[in-house]
A and B are shown apart, each in its own frame.
Chain A
Amino acid sequence: MTKYLTLLKLSWQNGLVYRLSLFTWRLRQFLSSLMSLTVWTVIFTSNNNAFGYSQDNMITYIFLIAFLQSIIIASSLNGLAQRIYSGEISNHLLKPFNIFAFFAIEEIADKVKNTFFLIFETFILFLLFKPLISFPDFKIFSIFLIWCFGGLIMNFFISLLFGSLGFWSPQVWGPKFLFFMILEFTAGKLFPLDILPKILQKIIYITPFPYLSFLQIQLFLGRLNSNDILHHSLIFITWIIFLGLSTKYIWDKGLRSYEATGQ
C-alpha cells in the first residue's frame, strides 16, 4: 500500500509542474458553466416556464450538473494514448505494480486537485446564480452516491479504452474529438436532455453518456420514480460490466502487441 501512496504523492507533485494546464482546464470548465447558467437565466427573464422547467429548477439543474461533471469527467488520462505510443508506459510496465492501480491513483490525484479548485468555482457560481438546492432523502442520496461512483468507474474505463488506441496508432485525436463533441451535448451541461425531441432522447439513452452525470442529477432532483431508478440501475451496471470487460480484453491484446513490437 505504501508504494501506491508514494505514487500518489509523486503524481500530485507532477501535476504541480503543469500548474498552467490545470489552471486553464479549470478556467475553461468555469467559463462553460458560466455560459450555460447565463443563457438559462436570460431565457427565464422573459419566460416563466420553458420546456417544463421553472427557472429555479433549471438553474439548480445546471449548477449541479456542472459540479458533478467537473468531478466525473476530469481525467488525467487524456494523454494516455500518446504516452503509450511514445513508449513512456513501458517504464511502468517493468515495475512491480499493477498498471491499472497506477492509473487509478493518477486519476484520484487529478480529481482531488480539480475538486480543490472546483470548490472555489462553485462558491462563486453559487453567489452569482443563487440556485435553490434541497437534498433528497437518505435513500435516494445513497443511490445518488453509488451512481456517482459508477459514473467515475465508467469514465475511467472509457479513458482507458481511448488510451488503448495508442497501442496501434498515434492518430488518436479523431476519435477523441468525436467523443468530446458528443459528450458536450449529450452529457447535459448545456441543456437537460429531456428537452430534446423524444426520438433523440431514445437514441441518447442507448449510449453511456447520460450515465456520466445527467441521470445522477435527475435522481438528485427527484425527477426519477422508483421504476426509473431500477431500470437505469440495471442498464448502468450492464454498461459498467461491458466497458470493464472490453477494457480488459483490449488492454490484454494491446499489451501483447506492444511487447511484441518492442516499442
Chain B
Amino acid sequence: MKPRANDMRLITYFKVWKIFGFNALQETLVNRGSNILFMIGKTLRFSFALLFLFLIRSSVNSFAGYNSDQIVVFFLTYQFIDLVSQIFYRGVYLFSNMVRTGEFDFLLIKPINPLFRALTGKPDINDAIFLIPSLLVSIYIFSRLNIAISLESFIWYLLLLINSFLIVTAIHILVLIVGILTTEVDGIIWIYRDLNYMGRFPATIYMEPLRFVLFFIIPIGMMITIPTEVLLGLKPSYSILIASLIGLGSFFISLKLWDLSLKKYSSASS
C-alpha cells in the first residue's frame, strides 16, 4: 500500500488521529480507578529505577568505562523513548485481539491506511500524562549532573532521536506482522519491552551474542545507546551513519513486510 500523501489526506489522518486520542482519553476517564493505579505503578517504577541508579552513583565511580553520571543519562534517554513510543503505539498491544475477533477486517475495508490505524489507534493517555512530570524530573536531574554538553552534540542527539523513532516504528510494525500471522502478539511485544528495558543501561555492557542482538537485530542500542553517547560527547560505539542506515533500513523493510503480510492475510482462511 503506497502512502497517498497529498495534503487533504494528511489533514484527514491528523483529524482521525485526534479522535483516537480523544476517545482514548475518554476511555481512560471511564476506567479512572485502574488508571490511577497504573499511574502509581509507573511513578513507583520510575522512582525505584532512579533510586537504584543513585545508589550505584553514590558508591561506584565507574561503570563499564562510563562514569556514573553518564549512566543516569542513558536511563533518562531510555525513559523518554519508551514513554513516547507507548504514547503513540500502545494500540499495538491490542492488535492480536483485533485479528482474532475479526475487528481487523473492519480496518481493512475503511478508506484509511490499516497500518496507521493498527499502530496509532489507541494512544496511551496514562503515558502522555506521565510524560510531563517525567520530563520535568529528567531535566532537573540532568541539570544537577556533572556533565557538559555542546550545542552540536545536542542537535545530533535530537536528530538521532528521530532515527530512534523510525526504529521504534519498525519494531512495532514487525509486532503487528507477527499478530497478523499468528494472532498472538502478547509474547513478542513483551520480549521487545524486556529487551528495550535492557537499554536502560548502555547496550555495550552486555556480552556477545546479546550485544550483537541489541545493536543489529532488535536495535535497542542504536535507539538508545548511540544517541546518548553522542549527546555525552563520547565516541559512539557504532558510527552515526550505521545507526541511521539501520533506522531507515528497518523502517522501509518493515513497511515492505507489512504489505507482504497483508497479502498473506488476504489469501488465508478466516
Using CB atoms and an 8 Å cutoff, list the residues of chain A in contact with chain B: 20-21, 23-25, 27-28, 31-32, 34-35, 38-39, 42-43, 45-47, 50-51, 128, 171-175, 177-178, 180-182, 184-185, 190-191, 195-196, 200
17 residue pairs bridging A and B, Cβ less than 8 Å apart: A21-B186, A28-B191, A31-B195, A38-B206, A42-B201, A43-B60, A47-B61, A47-B62, A172-B34, A174-B37, A174-B38, A178-B37, A178-B38, A181-B45, A182-B41, A185-B48, A185-B52
Chain B residues contacting A190 (CB-CB under 8 Å) are 52
- B residues 48-69 near A (Cβ < 8 Å) are 48, 51-52, 55-56, 59-64
Q: Complex formed: what's the CA distance from A31 to B220 in Å?
A: 14
Provide the residues of chain A in CB contact with B190, threshold 8 Å.
Answer: 24, 28
Q: Is the interface of A mostly helix, strand, loop or mixed?
A: helix
Pair A184/B191 contact, Cβ less than 8 Å: no
> Shortest Cβ distance from A125 into chain B, in angstroms?
12
A contact residues around B52 at 8 Å (CB)? 185, 190-191
The answer to whether the Cβ of B44 comes within 8 Å of any Cβ in the partner chain is: yes
Sample of 11 more A-B contacts, CB < 8 Å, known A34-B206, A195-B55: A21-B186, A24-B187, A28-B190, A31-B194, A39-B205, A42-B205, A46-B60, A171-B31, A178-B38, A185-B48, A185-B52
Number of chain B residues whose Cβ lies closer than 8 Å to a Cβ of chain A: 39
**Complex Cα gap A178–B39 (Å):** 9
Residues of A within 8 A of B36 (CB): 174
A184 contact set on B, CB distance < 8 A:
45, 48
Tell me if B26 counts as interface (CB < 8 A to partner A).
no
Residue contact A178 to B59, C-beta cutoff 8 Å:
no
Min CB–CB distance A22 → chain B (angstroms): 9
A27 to B188, CA, bound (A): 10
Residues of B within 8 Å of A171, CB to CB, are: 31, 33-34
Question: How many Å lie between the Cα of A190 and that of B201 in the bound state?
Answer: 13
When chains A and B are docked, how far (Å) is the Cα of A178 from the Cα of B195? 21
CA separation between A90 and B201, bound complex, in Å? 47
Chain B, residue nearest A195 (CB):
B55
Known: A43-B56, A195-B55, A196-B55. A178 touches B63 (CB 8 A): no
- Cα of A35 to Cα of B78 in the assembled complex, Å: 15
> Distance (Å) between the CB of B59 and the closest chain A CB?
5
* Distance in Å: Cβ of B83 to nearest Cβ of chain A: 15
| B205-230 Cβ-contact flags toward A at 8 Å (1 or 0) | 11100100000000000000000000
Given the known A-B contacts A39-B201, A42-B205, are A20 and B56 also in contact in the complex, defined by CB atoms under 8 Å? no
Contacts of B205 on A, CB cut-off 8 Å?
38-39, 42
From 160 to 189 in chain B, residues with beta carbon under 8 angstroms from any chain A beta carbon are 182, 184, 186-188
A44 → B minimal CB distance (Å): 9
Chain B residues touching A, majority SS: helix
Do A35 and B191 touch across chains, with their CB atoms under 8 A apart? no
- B36 closest partner in A (C-beta): A174
A residues less than 8 Å from B261 (CB atoms): none
Question: Nearest-CB distance from B116 to chain A (Å)?
Answer: 26
Give, as a whole number of angstroms, the nearest-CB distance from A172 to chain B.
8
B198 within 8 A of A: yes
Cβ B33 vs Cβ A46 within 8 A? no
- Whether B41 pairs with A178 at a CB distance below 8 angstroms is yes
* From A24, A42, A175, A200, contact of B64 by CB (8 A): A42
Contact partner, B44, options A20, A25, A175, A181, Cβ 8 Å: A181
Within the assembled complex, what's the spacing in Å between the Cα atoms of A178 and B191? 20
Cα of A34 to Cα of B182 in the assembled complex, Å: 28
Complex contacts, A45 vs chain B, CB 8 Å: 64
Asked if A50 and B198 make an inter-chain contact with CB atoms under 8 angstroms apart, the answer reads no
Residues on B with C-beta less than 8 A from A200 are: 51
Tell me the smallest distance from the CB of A12 to a CB of chain B, in Å: 20
- Is B138 interfacial (CB 8 A cutoff)? no
CB neighbours (8 Å) of B198 from chain A are: 31, 35
Contact B61 A20 (CB under 8 A): no
* Least distance between A170 CB and chain B CB atoms (Å): 10
- Distance of B264 from chain A, by nearest CB (Å): 19
Q: Which residue of chain A is the closest to B45 with respect to CB atoms?
A: A181
CB nearest neighbor in A for B189: A24
Chain A residue contacts of B197, Cβ below 8 A: 32, 35
Judging by beta carbons under 8 Å apart, are A47 and B60 in contact? yes
B63 touches A43 (CB 8 A): yes
